[in-house]
Structure 1
Amino acid sequence: MLQTLSKFLLYKCMGWKKDVRFKLPKKAIICLAPHTSNWDFLIGQLYAEAEGLKGNFLMKKEWFIGPLGILFRKLGGIPVYRDKHTSMTDRLAEMAKEVDKFQLCITPEGTRSLNSNWKMGFYYIAKKANLPIFLYGLDYERKLIACTKFINPSGDIDTDIQDIKSYFKDFKGKYPELFTVGEIG
């Protein structure tokens, strides 16, 4: 019922379409960009429900208060404590190795604000846990959710990140002026 409703809302009412060429394996990192608006979360949740995906996502701890915290945890949210210097990438990589299913969605910019210095946690988790990184783009201009590429981290982070940024360079976020891939060499 909820899946049917999500499909109706996302694809019929809101007019989004998808170009997703891969079935997610049981264990993967989902790199989602651009992230320029809180609407990205709603679109992502509708897409996940419409497509029967049940994964996790990272979100700053400030959102995990009161009833919102309960809701976000139920949806698969994992709070990020930016003020604590913990090895979250190590903990998530270990978790990925230990469980049967691990699909974690991370926005590489780490913020809805303009940021050319992407956070590399998604890459390190994938490398440490030997997971593929599926590149999901949200394009508001075309109302398109796309995943036409994935990478297996080679360990050459500079080359891999340039490849990832090149993939996302043409996607238009809800607020395009808030998204950049920085310089691509």
Structure 2
Amino acid sequence: MKRAISSFILRLFGWTVVVDVPDYPKCVICVAPHTSNWDFFIGKLAYLSIGRYAGFMMKKEWFFPPLGSLLKSMGGVPVSRDRHTDMVSQLVEIFKSRKRFSIAITPEATRKANADWKKGFYYIARDAEVPIVLAYIDYKDKEVGIKKVFMPTGDVEKDMRMIKSYYKSFHARRPENFVTGL
């Protein structure tokens, strides 16, 4: 039912979803560009429309009652921006303890322009030994795509350049806020 409703809502607003990768039991989903709160809703609907489920990371300030309970039921993982928390290790443990777990992460970590993408998603995938699925939300073409899979090589700088390069051709809702730094 969720799948049909999600597909209907996306089609109603003119969005298409293109998927060329398998449904991995475990993966980190890197989502970019991220310049608007609408990215969350469109991305979540798109993933549900193809019958897949993924958790997502969101700053802990959004997890207040009653919204916090709803976000957690949808797969939300509250993230503290406090440097004393080790989110990478926590998520790696979740990956190791479950047969099936996927989490969507926006490496820009903000809706403002940020060329210094966070690398936590990369380290989580590397340490959990799971693939990174590269997903995009392109507002110009009204397309959500999941077309490329990437396994971290361990060369963080080289891999991050490749990942950022992949996203250069996609159009954010607010293009002035999307930068890769390349």
Please indicate, yes or no, whether the TM-score normalized by the shorter chain is above 0.5.
Answer: yes
Q: TM-score, normalised by structure 1?
A: 0.95
- Is 1:94 aligned to residue 55 of structure 2? no
Q: Encode CA deviations 1:74-133: one digit per residue, 9 max, x unaligned.
A: 000000010251111011012101111110100000011110000000000000000100
Which residue in 2 is equivalent to 1:68? Answer: 67
Tell me the CA shift for residue 48 of structure 1: 2.0
Paired with 1:149 and 1:84, the residues of 2 have a C-alpha distance of 31
Which residue in 1 is equivalent to 2:40? Answer: 41
Q: Which amino acid is 1:134 matched to?
A: V
- Regions of 4+ moved over 3 Å: none
Paired with 2:143 and 2:123, the residues of 1 have a C-alpha distance of 28
Q: Answer whether contact 2:17 2:46 (CA < 8 A) is retained.
A: no
Which residue in 1 is equivalent to 2:171? Answer: 172
Q: Which amino acid is 2:158 matched to?
A: T
Q: Which amino acid is 1:161 matched to?
A: M
Moved more, 98-107 or 80-89: 80-89
Which residue in 2 is equivalent to 1:131? Answer: 130
Structure 1 unmatched ranges of 5 or more: none
* Number of aligned residues: 182
Paired with 1:54 and 1:18, the residues of 2 have a C-alpha distance of 15
Which residue in 2 is equivalent to 1:161? Answer: 160
Q: Encode CA deviations 1:18-52: one digit per residue, 9 max, x unaligned.
A: 22101221000000000000000110121122111
RMSD of the TM alignment (CA)?
1.0
Q: Which amino acid is 1:153 matched to?
A: P
Moved more, 1-10 or 152-161: 1-10
Moved more, 153-162 or 16-25: 16-25
Which residue in 2 is equivalent to 1:85? Answer: 84
Tell me the CA shift for residue 58 of structure 1: 0.2
Q: Secondary structure in 2 aligned to 1:7?
A: helix
Which residue in 2 is equivalent to 1:8? Answer: 8
Q: Which amino acid is 2:49 matched to?
A: A
Which residue in 1 is equivalent to 2:31? Answer: 32
Q: Which amino acid is 1:64 matched to?
A: F
| Identity among equivalent pairs (%) | 46
Structure 2 unmatched ranges of 5 or more: none
Q: TM-score, normalised by structure 2?
A: 0.97
Q: Which amino acid is 2:63 matched to?
A: F
- Is 1:112 aligned to residue 111 of structure 2? yes
Q: Which amino acid is 1:37 matched to?
A: S
Paired with 1:14 and 1:99, the residues of 2 have a C-alpha distance of 35
Paired with 1:145 and 1:55, the residues of 2 have a C-alpha distance of 15
